[in-house]
Structure 1
Amino acid sequence: MLSLDMLLSLAAYAFVMTITPGPNNVLLLASGLAFGVRRTGWHLAGVLAGTWLMICLVGAGLGALFVTVPAAQTVLKLAGSGYMLWLAHQLWNAGALSAVDAQRPIRFFDAAVFQIVNPKVWVMATTVIAAFVPAGDQYVQRVVIAGLLFIAVAVPCITLWAAGGSLIRTWIHNPVTLRRINRVMALLAAATVVLFWL
């Protein structure tokens, strides 16, 4: 099993990586603003499930794919960039809250699958396995435990982003102000595309 020191180090790493801005947190902030925390719940759950699955897949050796097939990484970057730019376009064109409410938040499956093309999640998953899961006996159990601990730390961190958007929502009643905030969110979402190519 993982030592206490290793678990504490992993928890600290998970906190830093999930509280800081990235594609998921920008989208959760925007979703909290548009739909509130409750309606963003499936989006949150999809992010968590997809991230845990990515940690397990990297632990199973999927990370080696990029070493043997470098073009696979380029395909993922292009797919992730395209998806983020599409979402940024949706945010840019979002109008009043009543119009946004008629739309739907990102679904569980969509959020989970997005983790496959999210470069920050690849970095997190690869680091979790490389730095915190030693090879040897009970390797599979250690991968699962490391993934679960990472997700446990991530829950409050990413929920804060959705709650922040929801809090902003309660203060805004002016459609012009909302449009401006949506456009700032759109620019932030588009800017995260840079992370895909670093």
Structure 2
Amino acid sequence: MTPEALIALFALALGTVWTPGPNNALLASSGARYGFRATIPHALGVAIGFPVMVFATALGLGEVFRAVPLIGEVLRWIGAALLIWLAWKVFNAPAPGTQKGKGRPWRFIEAAAFQWINPKAWIMAISVISVFVTGTAPLLEAALCAGAYLLAGLSSAHGWAGFGAALQRFLSTPIRLRAFNGVMAALILMTVYGLMFADLTA
């Protein structure tokens, strides 16, 4: 992979992982509810779990989607239902410190596992390998794609968690908290809309 291609790959990785989506909305919501430190396992699960999925997809898992389009369609509808449910949970999340607000942030393994059923993650993974994995050096190309997303993901996951944590004091009133939850839920629902028209076999 040429230096120019590496720069383009990293720029794409930064652009895709920083844009609003289910992971970032959930990280911001967790940061706001539980604080930055408590959300670190969630952030690491996202930042590491997705590159692992990219690596596996680049080594051939993406071919399964091309060979069996039904898998992509099943993922599309199951993923949409899951994201709508998550949006509802985020929108109705109670204030931390209340009896109903008792809970915990996601663990590392939960966040990492979520990548495998997150439709936006699949769209991103399939898109990047269709552009940057040529097959001339599959292992190296897979590792470079995964590495780019690891570096970019560490910055975005912790950035979104920090963004939510920074708003904790501002969100101390019920109206502000509900508005914030509504925005985060809307970001997740926007992904559902995009998912309906996405090509999972590209």
TM class by shorter chain equals 0.7 to 0.9
Report the residue type matching 1:128 in the other structure. V
Taking the aligned partners of 1:21 and 1:134, their CA distance within structure 2 comes to 29
Q: Provide the residue aligned with 2:200 in structure 1.
A: none
Which residue of structure 1 aligns with residue 89 of structure 2?
Answer: 90
CA deviation vs aligned residue, 1:108-132 (integer Å, no higher than 9, x gap): 2222122122232223222332222
The equivalent residue for 1:26 is: 25
Q: Amino acid of the residue matched to residue 76 of structure 1?
A: L
How far apart in 1 are the matches of 2:121 and 2:181? 25
Matched, 1:79 2:78: yes
> Does 2:124 match 1:127?
no
Is 1:136 the counterpart of 2:140? The answer is: no
Pairing of 1:1-198 with structure 2 (within 5 A):
2-99=1-98, 102-137=102-137, 139-198=138-197
Unaligned ranges ≥5, structure 1: none
**Structure-1 separation of matches of 2:194 and 2:38:** 27
Local SS of the residue matching 1:169: coil
TM-score after normalising by structure 2: 0.86
Q: Structure 1-normalised TM-score?
A: 0.88
Runs of 4+ in 1 over 4 A off after TM superposition: none
Count of aligned positions: 196
Shift of 1:13: 0.7
Q: Could you tell me which runs of 5 or more consecutive residues in structure 2 were left unpaired when the two chains were aligned.
A: 198-202
| Alpha-carbon distance in structure 2 between the residues aligned to 1:4 and 1:106 | 37
Question: Partner amino acid for 1:107?
Answer: R
Q: Percent identity?
A: 35
- Per-residue CA distance 1:130-184 (angstroms, 9 max, x = gap): 22233224x2133113211221022112322111111111223223432332233
Q: Displacement of 1:57 after TM fit?
A: 1.6
Give yes or no for contact 1:92–1:183 (8 Å, CA) kept in 2: yes
Change (3 A) 1:151 1:61: same
* 2-structure distance, mates of 1:18, 1:178: 25
